[in-house]
Amino acid sequence: MSQRSCLSVILAAGEGTRMKSAQPKVLHQIAGLPMVAHVVKAAEAAGASGLALVIGHGADEMRKAAARFAPKAETFEQEKRLGTAHAVIAARAAISRGYDDVLVMFGDTPLIDADALTVARRRLAEGAAVVVIGFRPPNPAGYGRLIERDGKLTAIREEKDCSEEEKKIGFCNAGMMAVAGAHALKLLDAVGNENAKGEYYLTDIVEIASAQNLDVVATEASFESALGINNRAELAQAEAIWQQRRRHDAMLSGVTLIAPETVFFSHDTEIGADTIVEPNVWFGPGVRIASGAKIHAFSHIEGATIASNCDVGPFARLRPGADLRNKAKVGNFCEVKQAVIEDGAKVNHLTYIGDARVGAGANIGAGTITCNYDGYSKFFTDIGEGAFIGSNSSLVAPVTIGNGGYIASGSVITESVPDDALAFGRARQKTIPGKGKELRERFASAAAAKKKAAGADH
């Protein structure tokens, strides 16, 4: 089957009014990726070499989004919404190129399993002209039933048209199907609109193909894989299913999740074996974690690279461009952005490191910040190997702290510091004996007078 060419036609023109959103429905995200992009990934995993996106509502926004998640896809606009068969035929130019297999998919089914598509394609390779993907929902009410006879699919019956016996059928239409490319246009062009809505229904090709003595069969996908998204509640349900799958896969691959239900992954999270993730950790897009790392509770990580045996958190935030090298540590209530923390360096607590390099073995004291932004431009801070930055220091970029440099606590550093030098950048302390007692007495007297005056006013 690997030699068979395949086109995936993904229907993504729906307005999604039940989402209550100005954004096209299929651009709402699951695990940080538009739901239609999940469908694209499944199609590609099933061997689709051609992609045709049928768009409508928010066409310009859809084209811009597609350029990011499916740059090789063609887009076809369905100007009038006249049914699912009408939507598929909008991609006539792509279908007419003579693909062996044509997969028809929906952009609002983000959990579709590539294996279900592969099984449908295999049935085409075995000689079927149309393969309908079905599923068995917990409650079939409202779904079209798949009517089979002698192993062949003879019709898809909408519930309102079902007999009482047919309503007992639990095998339902998931909407997706695979069609042999040699028959696709002929079958689609034969679909009429003689129905109450005057629309062209894709499901009609089942009876059309059967009438032409073409083989029509049904395959089965899981209920979760066929789940369609129509509103925000269903979007959250799909997110929960996706996360549950990803957590399960992570743990089977050697990752320890202490409280799996509290950890959230992104669609592209990479995490190595022997990594331990504590409760309440969120991974945004673009995170890569090597083996043996430890991610403590309540950390928020996106766009970051974490090397082997690093230690992060608790309550750490790694923003895009954070690059932690082997055995680096970023501790509690620290934020790192667009910065390299080299081997064994420590950023322990209450610290901001942005647009910077922290050299191997350096130690950053509590309350240290790199002052990297002047309101208009960003500037770089370079901290050398083995440097020691005392607590509550401000490093005003652009500035360089040399290898082995030592910054006294409470310093504001505005000039570069040579290797192995000690730098102070703070006012000299002055101590006045007895002045503390005098101030307390003065403040207490003023407070008592204010309270007495307030009482007199009442």
Q: What is the CATH number of the domain that holds 388?
A: 2.160.10.10
Residue 429 lies in a domain: no
Residue 451 lies in a domain: no
Task: Examine the domain organization and report whether 261 and 387 are in the same domain.
Answer: yes
Residue 171 burial (C-beta neighbours within 10 Å; 0-12, 13-18, 19+): middle
Task: Examine the domain organization and report whether 256 and 198 are in the same domain.
Answer: no
Amino acid 141: pLDDT: 87
CB contact at 8 A, 246 and 260 = no
Task: Examine the domain organization and report whether 134 and 94 are in the same domain.
Answer: yes
Residue 457 lies in a domain: no
Which amino acid belongs to residue 302? E
Confidence category of residue 193, pLDDT binned at 50, 70, 90: confident
Q: Report the chain's mean pLDDT, rounded to a whole number.
A: 94
Give the integer Cα–Cα distance in Å for 280 and 26. Answer: 28
Ramachandran assignment for 45, one of left (phi > 0), alpha (psi -120 to 50 degrees), beta (any other) = alpha
Q: Look-up: residue for tokens 């992009």?
A: 37
280-335 residue pLDDT tens: 999 999 999 999 999 999 999 999 999 999 999 999 999 999 999 999 999 999 99
Asked whether residue 1 carries a pLDDT value surpassing 60, the answer given is no
Residue 349 known to be catalytic: yes
- In order, the DSSP letters of 2-71 are TTS-EEEEEEE----GGG--SS-GGGSEETTEEHHHHHHHHHHHTT--EEEEEEBTBHHHHHHHHHHH-T
The DSSP bridge partners found for residue 441 are none
- Which residue range forms the structural domain that includes residue 341? 232-423
Output the pTM of the full model.
Answer: 0.88
Task: Examine the domain organization and report whether 216 and 322 are in the same domain.
Answer: no
Which is nearest to 46 in space by CA: 128, 116, 106?
116
66-85 residue pLDDT tens: 999 999 999 999 988 889 99
Task: Examine the domain organization and report whether 198 and 237 are in the same domain.
Answer: no
Q: Which is the catalytic residue, given 38, 86, 267, 349?
A: 349
118-154 residue pLDDT tens: 999 999 999 999 999 999 999 988 889 999 988 889 8
Task: Examine the domain organization and report whether 301 and 194 are in the same domain.
Answer: no
Amino acid 197: pLDDT: 82
Work out the angle at residue 139's Cα, subtended by the Cα atoms of residues 138 and 142, and round it to the nearest 5 degrees. 140
Task: Examine the domain organization and report whether 286 and 198 are in the same domain.
Answer: no
Give the integer Cα–Cα distance in Å for 148 and 156. Answer: 9
Q: How many domains does the chain have?
A: 2
Task: Examine the domain organization and report whether 133 and 237 are in the same domain.
Answer: no
CA dist list (Å): 324 to 230, 256, 319, 385: 41, 20, 12, 15
- Reduced to 3 states (helix: H, G, I; strand: E, B; else coil), residue 377 is coil
Task: Examine the domain organization and report whether 201 and 251 are in the same domain.
Answer: no
